[in-house]
C-alpha cells in the first residue's frame, strides 16, 4: 500500500491486491450485450458510452449531484468516470435497485454495462455476474442513536435492527445478531429515515455509510466487524473482454496514482 496519508482509524483499508495480468483484448468473443462498438472496439449497450447502474443514494460511494456532468457523485462514480475516460467512452449513470444489480437482473436486461454500487464480491453473486478485481475493502458496522444504551452486537436481543435487503450486512446480521428483530429495507435512504423516526433502534451495514451518518450528527458507530469484504464492479456473466478492460484501467489507476487521489478525496482525514 502506498503513501496514503492518515486514513480514518476505523478501518477503511484500500484494497486492490491488483495482481492484474495485463490483458490484451482485441475483439474476440462477443459475449456481452449488443449494439455499440466504441473506438476501442469494446461492445457496450449504447455505442460510445459506458452505462453504469448504481443504487443511489449511498454516500460516500454514490449520491445525486445536479452540478456534476453525470448528475451523480461519490467514490464509485469517480472510479467509473476514470475508467470510462481511460476507455475513451462517455459515462452515463442510471439509478437502480440494489437487488436488481446484485442478482444480475439489470445487467441481463441490457440496462447497463456495469454495476458500481459498493457491491461486495461473493461466491454466490459470482454465480450470476462477473466481477472486476476488488477496488475497495470495507467492514460492517453497528450504528445507533447517540443516546442509545446499545454498545455492541451482544445488546441486540429483542431490538429492531435495520438492514438492507440483498446485502452482506443483512447476511452478517442474520448470522451474528440472532436475537435481534431484523427489519429489511430496499435502500439506505429508507433505513436511515427509519432510525431517525425511531422505527428501528440500530442499523447494521457497511462502515463508510454509517460513518457518513455519524458525521451528520445524532448517531454513533459503536462497533465494527472485519468481514474480509472487497467491493467489485459487476458485469454481465461472460463479459470477459469488458472485465479485462476494466481491470486494466484499475491497474493503471493504481500505477499512476489516480486511485489514491480518488480514495483520499473521500476517505483521508486531511
Give the mean model confidence (pLDDT) for residues 55-69: 94
- Nearest alpha carbon to residue 248 among 228, 233, 236: 233
pLDDT digits (tens, 9 = 90+) for 174-222: 999 999 999 999 989 999 999 999 999 999 999 999 999 999 999 999 9
Q: What share of the chain is helix, strand, coil (3-state, %, to 5)?
A: 30, 25, 45
Residue 41: the pLDDT is: 73
CA–CA gap between residue 240 and residue 59 (Å, rounded): 30
For the chain, counts of helices (H) and of strands (E): 9, 14
Mean pLDDT for all residues in the chain: 87
Contact indicator for 154, 219 with CB cutoff of 8 Å: no
Contact indicator for 188, 57 with CB cutoff of 8 Å: yes
Instruction: Provide the pLDDT confidence category of residue 8 given band limits of 50, 70 and 90.
Output: very low
Instruction: Provide the pLDDT confidence category of residue 40 given band limits of 50, 70 and 90.
Output: low
Residue 164: the pLDDT is: 93
Give the mean model confidence (pLDDT) for residues 234-259: 97
Q: Which of 20-29, 111-120, 134-143, 160-169 has the lowest mean pLDDT?
A: 20-29
* Domains by residue range for the chain, with CATH: 49-137+230-267 (3.40.190.10), 139-228 (3.40.190.10)
Is the Cα torsion angle 91, 124, 118, 167 positive or negative in sign? positive
Residues linked to residue 137 through DSSP beta bridges, in sequence order: 230
CB atoms within 10 A of CB 220: 16
162: helix, coil or strand?
strand
Residue 34: the pLDDT is: 46
Residue 268: the pLDDT is: 76
Residues linked to residue 144 through DSSP beta bridges, in sequence order: 220
| Exposed/middle/buried for residue 190 (C-beta within 10 Å: 0-12, 13-18, 19+) | middle
Instruction: Specify the residue for cell string 460492517.
Output: 140
Instruction: Provide the pLDDT confidence category of residue 270 given band limits of 50, 70 and 90.
Output: low
DSSP 204: E
CA–CA gap between residue 175 and residue 172 (Å, rounded): 5
Residue 214: the pLDDT is: 96
CA–CA gap between residue 41 and residue 35 (Å, rounded): 12
Q: Global pTM?
A: 0.77
Amino acid at each position: 500500500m502506498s503513501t496514503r496519508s492518515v486514513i480514518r482509524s476505523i478501518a477503511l483499508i484500500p484494497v486492490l491486491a491488483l495482481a492484474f495480468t495485463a490483458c490484451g483484448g482485441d475483439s474476440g468473443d462477443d459475449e456481452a450485450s449488443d449494439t455499440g462498438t466504441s473506438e476501442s472496439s469494446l461492445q457496450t449497450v449504447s455505442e460510445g458510452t459506458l452505462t453504469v447502474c448504481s443504487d443511489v443514494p449511498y454516500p460516500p460511494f454514490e449520491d445525486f449531484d445536479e452540478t456534476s456532468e453525470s448528475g451523480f457523485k461519490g467514490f464509485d462514480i469517480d472510479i467509473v468516470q476514470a475508467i470510462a475516460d481511460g476507455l475513451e467512452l462517455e459515462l452515463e449513470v442510471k439509478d437502480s435497485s440494489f437487488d436488481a444489480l446484485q442478482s444480475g437482473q439489470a445487467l441481463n436486461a441490457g440496462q447497463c454495462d456495469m454495476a458500481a454500487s459498493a457491491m461486495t464480491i461473493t461466491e454466490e453473486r459470482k454465480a450470476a455476474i462477473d466481477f472486476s478485481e476488488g477496488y475497495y475493502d470495507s467492514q460492517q458496522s453497528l450504528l445507533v442513536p447517540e443516546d442509545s444504551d446499545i454498545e455492541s452486537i451482544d445488546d441486540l436481543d429483542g431490538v429492531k435492527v435495520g438492514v438492507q435487503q440483498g446485502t452482506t450486512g443483512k447476511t452478517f446480521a442474520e448470522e451474528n445478531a440472532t436475537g435481534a428483530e431484523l427489519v429489511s429495507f430496499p435502500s439506505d435512504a429508507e433505513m436511515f429515515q427509519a432510525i431517525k423516526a425511531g422505527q428501528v433502534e440500530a442499523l447494521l451495514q457497511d462502515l463508510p455509510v454509517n460513518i457518513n451518518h455519524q458525521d451528520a450528527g445524532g448517531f454513533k458507530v459503536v462497533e465494527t466487524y472485519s468481514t474480509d469484504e472487497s467491493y467489485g464492479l459487476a458485469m454481465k456473466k461472460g463479459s470477459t473482454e469488458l472485465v479485462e478492460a476494466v481491470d486494466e484501467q484499475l491497474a493503471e489507476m493504481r500505477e499512476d496514482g489516480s486511485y489514491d487521489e480518488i480514495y483520499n478525496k473521500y476517505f483521508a482525514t486531511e
